[in-house]
Structure 1
């Protein structure tokens, strides 16, 4: 079973602590927006969204949870 725990802008320590306690990696993800070449009915550029998935961050088993 795969569980995704979404943490919006704010306290990242909570997500890292949760992952370290359960010996699971954290998968950093962020979204960027950019203008497309298309103009909508209101005269504004339509936004394009790109989802970026970074390399997983694994807890270090040689360290204490607080340091990992």
Structure 2
């Protein structure tokens, strides 16, 4: 399993919310995987919804060295 997943919320057809809601928790052990939302959305509704899901962080694009350092 990956140690880190950078997940964009705004993807065509199957967005980040779809991905998070469709993860079969019984099949995949993600206990050692950190999911970081990396998106251009600063919408408070998106931030609130993401906070209720199993993610380790929320970063707004553009990605910078300083933002990457906050992940680790």
TM-score of the aligned structures, taking structure 1 as reference length = 0.29
Counting strand residues as a fraction of each chain, which structure ranks higher? Answer: 1
Task: Compare CA radii of gyration and give the structure with the larger one.
Answer: 1
Counting helix residues as a fraction of each chain, which structure ranks higher? Answer: 2
